[in-house]
Structure 1
Amino acid sequence: MDDRVRRALAITPSSSASARTVDITTIGAKTGRERRIEIWFYRVDDEIYLTTQPASRSWYANLLKNPQFTFHLKNSVRADLPATAEPVLDRDARRRVFEAIVADLDQPRHRAYISQPVQSVEEWMDGSPLVRVSFPPV
């Protein structure tokens, strides 16, 4: 993986909203058509994750049916990365990741984008999709 791409993926809780904003292109679970959306990504323990505030999400259903997708970096560097999504279902793993994400979102620099304080970890665990993203070796 290119060093510029590695740096773009190496976000921290102090990273800006634009640094963590990407697009993903999934394959529709029902239609089989490509679907591109904008989403934030998170980094916890050197792993990349996708999630959103608690709600049912089409992108998650798409990734459950078709876990291969494209992760589009679009800010500090532009790159279309082939990726695979793995749902995080284990309750302990979900808690660990959501604790880090909620703490990340409670940072002052995200106040303009996310209502503060962020919902509880329990609400995120019960109602938010969560996938770990992996990138195949090049």
Structure 2
Amino acid sequence: MAETDAARRALEEQQTVEITTVGRRSGVPRRIETWRYRAAGTFWLTGSPGRRDWYANLVAHPEFTLHLKALDLRVRGRLVTDPDERARVFAEIVPELSWAGTTQSWIDGSPLVEIELN
């Protein structure tokens, strides 16, 4: 429980995070930097519309490592494909981003993954 609380505090403070996924075909760990978002009371990984290798890796292997300051946590990604849930989450995220374009473009073409802390 203390580790989860520490992870939540770190996620509140850090928008830029690193994640390590497992390559969908290679099985090789892949570490990247990305942004986390907060909406609907939880934390999310997403990006502007387009294909993402990290998302394809999470489709194949939903467990990943979330790197936060002094914490490296094994977490699970919950892929969000339900159109209504995507609309609710993106309606909170996109208007906060001056560069983002339309909410509908994100609903239609952006990956959306909930970070499930254990």
- TM-score by length of structure 2 reads 0.91
Amino acid at match of 1:42: Y
Amino acid at match of 1:126: D
Separation of aligned partners in 1, 2:104 and 2:38: 20
2:22 matched residue in structure 1: 27
Pairwise CA distance, 1:135:
1.3
Residue 129 of structure 1 pairs with residue 108 of structure 2: no
Amino acid at match of 1:134: E
Larger Rg: 1
2:45 matched residue in structure 1: 50
Q: Which runs of 5+ in 1 are unaligned?
A: 12-18, 107-115
Tell me the matched-pair count.
116
How large is the Cα RMSD of the aligned pairs? 1.3
Most deviating of 97-106 and 27-36: 97-106
Separation of aligned partners in 1, 2:50 and 2:8: 30
In the alignment, which of 62, 68, 71 is matched to residue 67 of structure 1? 62
Separation of aligned partners in 1, 2:116 and 2:95: 23
- What SS does structure 2 have at the residue aligned with 1:10? helix
Amino acid at match of 2:57: N
1:102 matched residue in structure 2: 94
Separation of aligned partners in 2, 1:59 and 1:5: 21
**CA deviation digits over 1:91-123, x for unaligned, max 9?**
1100011111112223xxxxxxxxx3x210110
Q: Which runs of 5+ in 2 are unaligned?
A: none
2:77 matched residue in structure 1: 85
Separation of aligned partners in 2, 1:102 and 1:69: 25
Give the fraction of aligned pairs with identical amino acids, expressed as a percent. 46
Indicate conservation of the 8 Å contact 2:20/2:65, yes or no.
yes
In the alignment, which of 1, 5, 11 is matched to residue 7 of structure 2? 5
